[in-house]
């Protein structure tokens, strides 16, 4: 026996000796390595495509800053500062195809801001309210019905929402409120909110559901009502998640194109009135890029707007991320306390634990 | 028993759907002092404790028969609101469960929801009663979750004291703490027992012997024996109590 084993060739040894466990472990480790590499490659590809998109947009936007030739028609100050108007005076105008063209992006900026703000003003209270209702008050059966129903809303193509607002809601709202412009910032905002609600709702609901039940028990046992418990304990405890939900909602509202294209009126007027028509950044890019002369001023301005949108959402997400983490750490008591000044109380206290 | 009963149960039954968890409990807990509820795991100690502030109402399928009297008034039948009841009968849980708020806000929570005045004074006095005021110094605005477990548990007690309760229910308040921390909580309980009626559930016989004035022994949903702690531990009337206690001290 012993001699036989000693004499066996390495191959034979390998085929006969290893226990099934060892072999499975070996196969497991190969699979592990493969999986690790696959994940690494996917992650790299994702990041690379993001960088490539930005490089592409940035390259097309850059001439606004650098090209002497383009500066005849447009440069950065002219994007932001008032320009001589058609009938004298000065104005902020977006008239990319008039002669001379006007490329003030301020009307677009204000339009985007108005639509986004209105959308969030509608969506956040509704979505967070619904999330509070389903996680704190609704019987579990109602929750099982309501949650998936709202989440289905997220799957509705934005063109359908846009169509609905354009054909049904806008007319209805105009007849109720008597607006001059049938399509305006409010109709766009309402349409956008339909797209934003499911995101904010789902993320907020998850945040509220993961608040430990022991907090609620502690509050109820103190004689608090369910309302007080929801409002003063559950909501603050879930605040990082709800904040994250709002940031996601903002990103969706700023970037959403089809709904605003169909429901905003697409008129670049600089006005802070919510009932005036608007043209948003995303709608301007979508509707005008196809007709803009390749390499012309209009073309590069649209890319500049694209880059601006990219940076805006990126910075918002980053800031949101930072704030969410900070809130979470504060809630978990991880933020290090730095005493500002030794107070008389500390000096007299018998011991500082 | 001396003095009038603070909490009295009359033929108290409780069912978790079909499971009969409390089977006709007759118990009169005297005012002030510490009453310990002991018994093997699953005998219904926590269930009994939770009937005193009606926390069982939150459990779907839980049904109560019989009655519980607080100062002679039924807490299940009389017009005492749940809010008022739970203000008078506070509860400390097995795992410290301070809210994810600052120390100050934790203690101020009760007075705020009950619309009580003198918030600062209340917070300060409650923290002083548990010794946290001097230990924490000016750190009353740090997150309660950053405190060690023992301070968290004392904070949970401060939180209750702020609404001036009459009864403190404690369900194994030391089981998540080390012996030194346990000793501090026990000291605190003894300091509080002249003002409050304290009912504590414990698995720790030594603890029951150390701190309690009265002891109730439960078995399989029934109350086997209730008397002064000395008596229960040295000359129990029921052989089942004797068996359990000698086994646990053994
Ligand atoms: N929510 C519930 N639903 C159904 N049965 C329950 C529920 N809570 C407790 N029980 C059952 O009721 C009985 C008493 O439970 P209880 O928690 O009061 O026991 P206990 O004496 O506190 O036990 P322990 O010492 O382990 O804490 C146990 O058999 C338990 O399984
Ligand atoms: Mg228990």
Please write down the HEC assignment for all residues of chain A. Answer: CHHHHHHCCHHHHHHHCCCHHHHHHHHHHHHHHHHHHHHHHHHHHHHHHHHHHHHHHHHHHCHHHHCCCHHHCCCHHHHHCCEECCCCCEECCEECCCCCCEECCHHHHHHHHHHHHHHHHHHHHHHHHHHHHHHHHCCHHHHHHHHHHHHHHCCCCHHHHHHHHHHHHHHHHHHHHCCCCCCCHHHHHHHHHHHHHHHHHHHHHHHHHCCCHHHHHHHHHCCCCHHHHHHHHHHHHCHHHHHHHHHHHHHHHHHCCHHHHHHCECCCCCCCCCCCCECCHHHHHHHHCCCCCCCCHHHHHHHHHHHHHHHHHHHHHHHHHHHHHHHHHHHCCCCCCCCCCCCHHHHHCCCCC
- pLDDT in the model for residue A119: 96
Q: How many H helices and E strands in chain B?
A: 10, 10
For the segment B150-168, the average pLDDT, to the nearest whole number, is: 93
Tell me the backbone φ, ψ of residue B16, rounded to 5 degrees: -95, 100
* Gap between the Cα atoms of A344 and A39, Å rounded: 57
**Percent of chain B whose predicted confidence (pLDDT) is above 90:** 58
Pick the atom of ligand 1 nearest to B50's CA: 18
* Gap between the Cα atoms of B221 and B203, Å rounded: 16
Mutate to test the interface with A, among B138, B142, B153 (most CBs of A within 10 A): B138
Tell me whether A137 touches chain B (CB under 8 Å): no
Report the chain A residue with the minimal C-alpha distance to residue B82.
Answer: A223
* Gap between the Cα atoms of B233 and B208, Å rounded: 10
Give the residue, out of B15, B43, B63, B207, with the most ligand 1 atoms within 8 A of its beta carbon, to mutate for a pocket test: B43
* Cβ contact A337–B146 (<8 Å): yes
Mutate to test the interface with B, among A137, A210, A223, A238 (most CBs of B within 10 A): A223
CA torsion sign for B146, B150, B151, B153 is positive
Which residues in A lie closer than 8 A to residue B96 (C-beta atoms)?
Answer: none
For the segment A203-213, the average pLDDT, to the nearest whole number, is: 93
Q: Quick one: pLDDT band at residue A335, thresholds 50, 70, 90?
A: low
Residues with CB under 5 A from ligand 2 (ion): B 46
For the segment A217-225, the average pLDDT, to the nearest whole number, is: 94
Out of A104-108, A116-120, B80-84, least confident range: B80-84
Write the DSSP string, B113-154: HTT-S-HHHHHHHHHHHTTHHHHHTTGGGSBGGGS-HHHHHH
Q: B123, B108 in Cβ contact below 8 A?
A: yes
Pick the atom of ligand 1 nearest to B47's CA: 18
Q: Whole-number mean pLDDT of chain A?
A: 85
- Which residues, in sequence order, are CB contacts of B160 under 8 Å at separation 6+? A222, B90, B91, B92, B110, B168
Report the chain B residue with the minimal C-alpha distance to residue A229.
Answer: B113
* Cβ contact B139–A345 (<8 Å): no
Mutate to test the interface with A, among B100, B127, B167 (most CBs of A within 10 A): B100
Q: Which of A230, A247, A248 is nearest to A238 (CA)?
A: A230
> B208 in helix, strand or coil?
helix
Task: Look at A344 and A210; give whichever has higher pLDDT.
Answer: A210
Report the chain B residue with the minimal C-alpha distance to residue A213.
Answer: B97
Instruction: Give the sheet arrangement for strand B19-30, strand by strand.
Output: B19-30, B5-16, B62-70, B73-74
From A337, A349, A351, residue closest to B142, measured CB to CB:
A337
What is the count of residue pairs from A and B with beta carbons less than 8 Å apart?
101
Compute and round to an integer the Cα radius of gyration of chain A.
29
Ligand 2 centroid–CA B16 distance in Å is: 15
Per-residue pLDDT for A90 more than 90? no
Instruction: Give the sheet arrangement for strand B33-38, strand by strand.
Output: B89-92, B167-171, B197-201, B33-38, B214-219, B222-228
Q: Is B138 exposed, middle or buried (0-12, 13-18, 19+ CB in 10 A)?
A: middle
Which residues in A lie closer than 8 A to residue B87 (C-beta atoms)?
Answer: 222-223
Q: Quick one: pLDDT band at residue A83, thresholds 50, 70, 90?
A: confident
Q: What is the ipTM of this complex?
A: 0.90
Per-residue pLDDT for A5 more than 60? no
* Gap between the Cα atoms of A298 and A308, Å rounded: 15
- pLDDT in the model for residue A20: 54
Q: Which of A236, A69, A224 is nearest to B115 (CA)?
A: A224
Q: Does residue B54 belong to any structural domain of this protein?
A: yes
Beta bridge partners of B199: B35, B169
For the segment A29-45, the average pLDDT, to the nearest whole number, is: 92
Q: Quick one: pLDDT band at residue A338, thresholds 50, 70, 90?
A: very low
* Cβ contact B97–A334 (<8 Å): no
Residue B40 sits in a domain whose CATH number is 3.40.50.300
- Which residues, in sequence order, are CB contacts of A235 under 8 Å at separation 6+? A132, A208, A242
CA torsion sign for B155, B159, B160, B162 is positive
Task: Look at A353 and A198; give whichever has higher pLDDT.
Answer: A198
Atom 18 (ligand 1) nearest CA: B44
Tokens of A41: 């490659």
Which residues in A lie closer than 8 A to residue B137 (C-beta atoms)?
Answer: 343, 345-346, 349, 352
Domains of chain A: which residue ranges? 119-331
- Which residues, in sequence order, are CB contacts of A87 under 8 Å at separation 6+? none
Pocket of ligand 1 (CB under 6 A): B 16, 19, 21, 39, 41-47, 59
Tell me whether A334 touches chain B (CB under 8 Å): yes
Atom 5 (ligand 1) nearest CA: B16
Task: Give the domain extent around B148.
Answer: 5-245
- Which residues, in sequence order, are CB contacts of A110 under 8 Å at separation 6+? A270, A271, A272, A278
Atom 4 (ligand 1) nearest CA: B16
A163-194 per-position pLDDT tens digit: 999 999 999 999 999 888 999 999 999 999 99
- pLDDT in the model for residue B131: 87
B215-240 per-position pLDDT tens digit: 999 999 999 999 999 888 888 888 88
**Percent of chain A whose predicted confidence (pLDDT) is above 70:** 86
Q: Does residue B250 belong to any structural domain of this protein?
A: no
A298-332 per-position pLDDT tens digit: 999 999 999 999 999 999 999 999 988 888 888 87
* Cβ contact A346–B146 (<8 Å): no
Which one of the ligands is nearest to B93 CA? Answer: 2
A263-299 per-position pLDDT tens digit: 998 888 888 999 999 999 999 999 999 999 898 899 9
Per-residue pLDDT for A351 more than 50? no
Name the minimum distance, in Å, from the CA of B99 to any CA of chain A: 6
Q: Does residue B170 belong to any structural domain of this protein?
A: yes
From B82, B135, B143, residue closest to A333, measured CB to CB:
B143
B59-74 per-position pLDDT tens digit: 889 999 999 999 888 8
Q: Which of B248, B159, B175, B167 is nearest to B205 (CA)?
A: B248
* Gap between the Cα atoms of A65 and A47, Å rounded: 26
Which one of the ligands is nearest to B16 CA? Answer: 1
For the segment A137-161, the average pLDDT, to the nearest whole number, is: 90
B83-135 per-position pLDDT tens digit: 999 999 999 999 999 999 999 999 999 999 999 988 899 999 999 988 889 88
- pLDDT in the model for residue A126: 96
Residue count of chain A: 353
Report the chain B residue with the minimal C-alpha distance to residue A329.
Answer: B143
- pLDDT in the model for residue A82: 85
Per-residue pLDDT for B250 more than 70? no
- pLDDT in the model for residue A342: 36
* Gap between the Cα atoms of A114 and A269, Å rounded: 12
Ligand 1 centroid–CA B152 distance in Å is: 25
Per-residue pLDDT for A7 more than 50? no
Q: Quick one: pLDDT band at residue A18, thresholds 50, 70, 90?
A: low
- Any idea what DSSP says for residue B93? -
Per-residue pLDDT for B196 more than 70? yes
How many domains would you assign to chain B? 1
- pLDDT in the model for residue A350: 34
* Gap between the Cα atoms of A154 and A158, Å rounded: 9
User: In which region does residue A285 sit, left (phi positive, over 0), alpha (psi from -120 to 50) or beta (all else)?
Assistant: alpha
Per-residue pLDDT for B79 more than 80? no
- pLDDT in the model for residue B111: 95
- pLDDT in the model for residue A89: 75
The superfamily CATH assigns to domain A119-331 is MetI-like (1.10.3720.10)
Give the angle subtended at the CA of A192 by the CAs of A279 and A286, to the nearest 5°: 40
Ligand 2 centroid–CA B171 distance in Å is: 7
Q: Quick one: pLDDT band at residue A109, thresholds 50, 70, 90?
A: very high
* Cβ contact B143–A225 (<8 Å): no
pTM equals 0.82
Which one of the ligands is nearest to B38 CA? Answer: 1
Which one of the ligands is nearest to B58 CA? Answer: 1
- pLDDT in the model for residue A340: 38
Q: Does residue B128 belong to any structural domain of this protein?
A: yes
- H/E stretch holding B228: strand B222-228
Q: B109, B119 in Cβ contact below 8 A?
A: no
Parallel, antiparallel, or unpaired for β B197-201 and B33-38?
parallel
Q: A120, A250 in Cβ contact below 8 A?
A: yes
Pick the atom of ligand 1 nearest to B39's CA: 21
Report the chain B residue with the minimal C-alpha distance to residue A233.
Answer: B99
Tell me whether A349 touches chain B (CB under 8 Å): yes
For the segment B192-213, the average pLDDT, to the nearest whole number, is: 92
Per-residue pLDDT for B44 more than 60? yes
From B58, B143, B159, residue closest to A220, measured CB to CB:
B58
């Amino acid at each position: 026996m012993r001699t036989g084993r000693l004499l066996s060739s390495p191959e034979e040894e390998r085929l006969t000796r290893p226990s099934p466990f060892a072999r499975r472990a070996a196969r497991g480790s190969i699979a592990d390595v493969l999986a690790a590499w696959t994940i690494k490659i996917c992650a790299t590809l994702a990041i690379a495509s993001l960088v490539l998109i930005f490089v592409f947009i940035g390259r097309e936007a850059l001439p606004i800053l650098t090209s002497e030739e383009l500066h005849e028609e447009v440069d950065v100050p002219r994007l932001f500062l008032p320009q001589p108007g058609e009938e004298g005076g000065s104005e902020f105008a977006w008239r990319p195809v008039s002669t001379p063209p006007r490329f003030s992006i301020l009307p677009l900026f204000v339009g985007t801001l108005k639509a986004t703000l209105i959308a969030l003003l509608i969506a956040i209270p509704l979505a967070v309210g619904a999330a509070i209702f389903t996680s704190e008050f609704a019987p579990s059966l109602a929750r099982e019905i309501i949650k998936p129903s709202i989440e289905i809303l997220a799957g509705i193509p934005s063109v359908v929402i846009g169509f609905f607002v354009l054909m049904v809601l806008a007319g209805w709202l105009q007849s109720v409120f008597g607006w001059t412009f049938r399509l305006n910032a409010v109709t766009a905002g309402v349409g956008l909110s339909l797209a934003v609600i499911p995101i904010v709702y789902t993320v907020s609901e998850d945040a509220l559901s993961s608040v430990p039940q022991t907090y609620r028990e502690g509050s109820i046992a103190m004689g608090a009502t369910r309302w007080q418990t929801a409002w003063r304990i559950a909501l603050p405890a879930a605040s990082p998640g709800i904040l994250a939900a709002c940031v996601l909602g903002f990103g969706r509202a700023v970037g959403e194109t089809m709904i605003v294209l169909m429901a905003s009126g697409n008129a670049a007027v600089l006005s802070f009135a919510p009932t005036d028509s608007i043209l948003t950044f995303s709608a301007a890019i979508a509707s005008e890029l196809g007709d803009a002369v390749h390499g012309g001023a209009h073309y590069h301005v649209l890319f500049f707007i694209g880059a601006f949108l990219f940076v805006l959402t990126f910075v918002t997400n980053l800031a949101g991320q930072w704030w969410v983490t900070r809130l979470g750490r504060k809630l978990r008591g991880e933020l290090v306390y730095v005493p500002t000044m030794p107070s008389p109380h500390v000096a007299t206290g018998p011991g500082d634990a | 028993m001396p003095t009038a009963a603070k909490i009295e149960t009359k033929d108290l039954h409780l069912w978790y759907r079909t499971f009969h968890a409390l089977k006709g409990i007759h118990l009169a807990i005297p005012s002030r002092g510490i009453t310990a509820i002991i018994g093997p795991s699953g005998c219904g100690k926590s269930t009994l404790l939770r009937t005193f502030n009606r926390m069982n109402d939150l459990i779907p399928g839980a049904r109560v028969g019989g009655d519980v009297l607080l100062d002679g008034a039924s807490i299940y039948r009389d017009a005492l609101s749940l809010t008022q009841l739970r203000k008078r009968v506070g509860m400390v849980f097995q795992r410290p469960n301070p809210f994810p708020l600052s120390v100050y806000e934790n203690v101020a929570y009760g007075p705020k929801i009950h619309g009580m005045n003198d918030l600062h004074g209340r917070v300060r006095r409650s923290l002083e009663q548990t010794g946290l005021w001097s230990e924490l110094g000016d750190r009353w605005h740090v997150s309660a979750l950053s405190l060690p477990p023992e301070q968290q548990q004392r904070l949970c007690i401060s939180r209750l004291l702020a609404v001036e309760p009459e009864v403190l229910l404690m369900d194994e308040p030391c089981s998540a703490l080390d012996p030194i921390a346990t000793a501090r909580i026990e000291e605190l309980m003894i300091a509080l027992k002249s003002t409050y009626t304290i009912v504590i559930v414990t698995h720790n016989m030594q603890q029951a012997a150390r701190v309690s004035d009265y002891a109730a022994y439960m078995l399989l949903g029934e109350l086997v024996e209730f008397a002064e702690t000395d008596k229960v531990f040295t000359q129990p009337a029921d052989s089942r109590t004797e068996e359990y206690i000698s086994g646990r001290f053994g």
